[in-house]
Amino acid sequence: MSQQSAASKPSLQGVRIKARKGAVKAHAKHEPTVFRDQLYKYLEAVPEADFDAVTNKLIQAGSNLELLKYADPLFEAILIGGLIQPGGGYIDDGAPVCPFTVFNAKEPAEVDDIRKYVEVLNKLIRRYKYLQKPLEESALPTILQYIHKWSPAQKDKLGITIGLLMSQGLASASCLQSLAKDHLLKNDVSIDVITLIFRAYLVDQSMDHLSATLKRGGVKDLLVFFPPNKREGKFLEEHFKAAGLNQVAEWYAKKQYAVVKEGIVKDLTELCEREEPPEQIIAAIKSRQEASPIPDTELIQCIWQGLMASVDWSARPDQIEGLALREVGKYAPILEPFCKGPKTEVALINVVQVYCYEDTRIIKAFPQILKVLYNKDCISDQAIIYWYQKGSKPQGRQHFLKSTEALVKFLQEQEDDDSDDE
């Protein structure tokens, strides 16, 4: 027994014992500065304007340094030239500015110049795809929440950089939510940075593209980036128009119109279903229009949609056309006060055209519906003729033009007779 106990116990050879995740994280708290210093060594010898050489050095660093573990320090060094300490500002340990950083771009900041720095990040992230998530979920939100700490020139460079990163799909718009913090809303800091980001984004992409990016990033309303006392559509539109970004102002206005239009259609449908008198329905529409005005051409479309949504279309197929004509005649007094001119009248004809195209049960009733609207003074003969000649929508155009030939010919002859009488 004594010999057995004296013998060496078996052991596992070549087995790597993993450290616990908690211990690794705790240890990592003290290592970002070490990582930064190692990163600097790769970049120190590279000429400042040699972006290809910088890219190669960063990719080479990825083979030896733990870029995923230190993604935040990596992007902080490249974007703002150093590591951020809690509360903002650089860690004060005497370290120099990163040899390669966006803050080294020439002033005043220009998109074409900043684009070279973004291209380095693009190539680095394409090589190491795992870096994209920490960039958009951690590094950018952290940098943006301290953006008030940087000088105006640095803010410009950072705003343009983020705009280009977003336009190239390297970062999502979710990072912008850091700009909704209270301390950034003061003195228009947030909205000024948003403006820089949007201006850079729209150099390469359309407003529709930006809209989709904002939606995917969970940015539902731009007003959250304005101070509380300026959270109205008029302030937003004035701001972006003054900044030369009319497309943003127009997009927002259309978006608000959509919300208002949905409300009008819903309210109108409910009023009709309750069989309220036309006078009360007209008053309700005018009240809504005063509170949240939309263009007359948009309003007339909403009124038509709301009125038609209240109709019970469960009649027999052979009675549907007759039902449509009766309902249009019934609701014409509600439409008439809002048919204020040629543009509105043509808009009404077009919404009727599209409605008949989409509901094939009443497609043949289109000319008769126009006659009812004409007889009820909702549309004029000039509006019908203009629509026929060059104002129709593409949906079912050939069918509707052919079906209204006789009506248009009659109106033209009547117009000619009236001019002869004069």
pLDDT in tens, 380-419: 999 999 999 998 999 999 999 999 999 999 888 887 766 5
Helix (H) / strand (E) element for 252: namely: helix 246-273
> Mutual orientation of helices 189-204 and 246-273 as an angle, nearest 10°?
100
Separation CA 297–CA 308 (nearest Å): 17
Q: How many CB atoms lie within 10 A of CB 71?
A: 20
- Counting residues of the chain whose pLDDT is more than 90, the rounded percentage is 67
Q: For residues 353 and 366, is the Cβ–Cβ distance under 8 A?
A: yes
pLDDT at site 40: 93
Separation CA 327–CA 349 (nearest Å): 16
**262-269, Cβ contacts within 8 angstroms, sequence gap of 24 or more:** 263/288, 263/292, 264/288, 264/299, 264/302, 264/303, 264/306, 265/302, 265/305, 265/306, 265/309, 266/306, 267/306, 268/302, 268/303, 268/306, 268/307, 268/309, 268/310, 269/306, 269/307, 269/309, 269/310
pLDDT at site 94: 86
pLDDT at site 2: 47
**pLDDT grade for 375, boundaries at 50, 70 and 90:** very high
DSSP for 344-357? HHHHHHHHHHHHHH
Separation CA 218–CA 214 (nearest Å): 6
pLDDT greater than 70 at residue 319: yes
Question: Tokens 């291209």 — which residue?
Answer: 119
Q: What is the pTM of this model?
A: 0.71
Please compute, for residue 394, the number of CA atoms within 13 A of its CA located in the half-sphere on the CB side: 0
Q: Which range (58-62, 280-284, 293-297, 404-408) has the least confidence?
A: 293-297
Measured between alpha carbons, how far is residue 380 from residues 341, 373, 376, 391, 393 in Å?
Answer: 9, 9, 10, 14, 18
pLDDT at site 49: 83
pLDDT greater than 90 at residue 14: no
Average pLDDT, the chain: 88
pLDDT at site 42: 92
Q: Which range (50-54, 153-157, 289-293, 324-328) has the least confidence?
A: 289-293
Q: Which range (30-34, 104-108, 122-126, 368-372) has the least confidence?
A: 30-34
- Counting residues of the chain whose pLDDT is more than 70, the rounded percentage is 91
End-to-end, the C-alpha distance of the chain in Å comes to 134
For 115-156, the pLDDT digits (tens) are 999 999 999 999 999 999 999 999 999 999 999 998 999 999
Average pLDDT over residues 200-209: 95
For 16-39, the pLDDT digits (tens) are 656 565 555 555 455 899 999 999
Separation CA 375–CA 329 (nearest Å): 9
pLDDT at site 1: 44
pLDDT at site 8: 57
For 160-188, the pLDDT digits (tens) are 999 999 999 999 999 999 999 999 998 89
Q: For residues 82 and 150, is the Cβ–Cβ distance under 8 A?
A: no
